[in-house]
């Protein structure tokens, strides 16, 4: 589940950028399978309630189009592969960010630290002016033109290699082209609130 699971937009298939060494496949649509026995169907509210128990790292996923920068707070991010390095992000396909990532084929994953709770909340809130969100922090453009948070705990610059539609979300798998990283404590999301880990243990 993402922090902004209820935002709205649409998504579409895009072609890969010229010169890439991987092929961008057609969109795969998985849809919403129905259990054979409706009596065992899980209610969405029960699923969301269960997921709130799981602490997840908080990120801001970004991209840039000719019409400006787009970004939103996301917790549904995971590593896919180290060779080649790939990340997976799940974004509600009714968001403008999902539409923009699908169109550009590029996205940034900016892992936030414990001091970024306000930034996470702003990027999670509905807005008609995405550019206003970006004025709250300092950003640098990656070689692919994707905005990356200057003081992110870790920032990954990714090119989409696969796009999958499943249920309400689009799953973007991105190959990592650039990485920025520093030490710090991650911002986490659990039980509907931001939290973090304890301090690093001292030397043994």
The bridge status of strand 154-166 relative to strand 28-31 is parallel
How many C-beta atoms lie closer than 10 Å to residue 55's C-beta? 15
pLDDT tens digit sequence for 24-58: 455 555 555 555 566 668 888 887 777 776 778 99
CA–CA dist 170, 172 (Å, integer)? 6
**Full DSSP string of 100-125:** HHHHHSEEEEEE-BGGGHHHHHHHHS
Higher-pLDDT residue of 165 and 42 is 165
pTM for the predicted model, two decimal places: 0.78
Give the mean pLDDT of 104-132: 94
Which CATH code, of 3.50.50.60, 3.40.50.300, 2.40.10.480, 2.30.110.10, is assigned to 45-191?
A: 2.30.110.10
Q: What is the pLDDT of residue 19?
A: 38
158 and 148 in contact (C-beta within 8 Å)? no
d(C-alpha 83, C-alpha 169), whole Å: 26
Give rounded-to-5 percent helix, strand, coil for the chain: 20, 40, 40
Pairwise CA distance, residues 25 & 123, whole Å: 30
What's the pLDDT at 38? Answer: 62
What's the rounded Cα separation, in Å, for the pair 62 and 51? 24
Rounded CA separation 113/155 (Å)? 11
Contacts of 85 (CB under 8 A, 6+ apart): 175, 176
């Amino acid at each position: 589940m993402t922090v902004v699971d209820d935002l709205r937009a649409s998504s579409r298939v895009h072609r890969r950028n010229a010169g890439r060494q991987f092929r961008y496949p057609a969109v795969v649509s998985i849809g919403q399978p129905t259990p054979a026995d409706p009596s065992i169907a899980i209610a969405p509210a029960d699923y969301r309630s269960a997921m709130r128990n799981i602490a997840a790292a908080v990120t801001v996923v970004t991209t840039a189009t000719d019409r400006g920068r787009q970004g939103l707070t996301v917790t549904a991010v995971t590593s896919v592969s180290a060779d080649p390095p790939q990340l997976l992000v799940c974004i509600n396909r009714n968001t403008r960010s999902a539409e923009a990532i699908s169109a550009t084929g590029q996205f940034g994953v900016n892992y936030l630290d414990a001091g970024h709770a306000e930034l996470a909340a702003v990027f999670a809130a509905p807005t008609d002016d995405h550019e206003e969100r970006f004025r709250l922090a300092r950003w640098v453009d990656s070689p692919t033109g994707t905005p990356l948070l200057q003081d992110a705990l870790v920032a990954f610059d990714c090119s989409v290699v696969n796009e999958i539609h499943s249920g309400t979300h689009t799953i973007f798998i991105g190959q990592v082209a650039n990485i920025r990283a520093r030490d710090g404590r991650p911002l986490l999301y659990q039980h509907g609130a931001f939290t973090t880990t304890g301090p690093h243990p001292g030397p043994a």
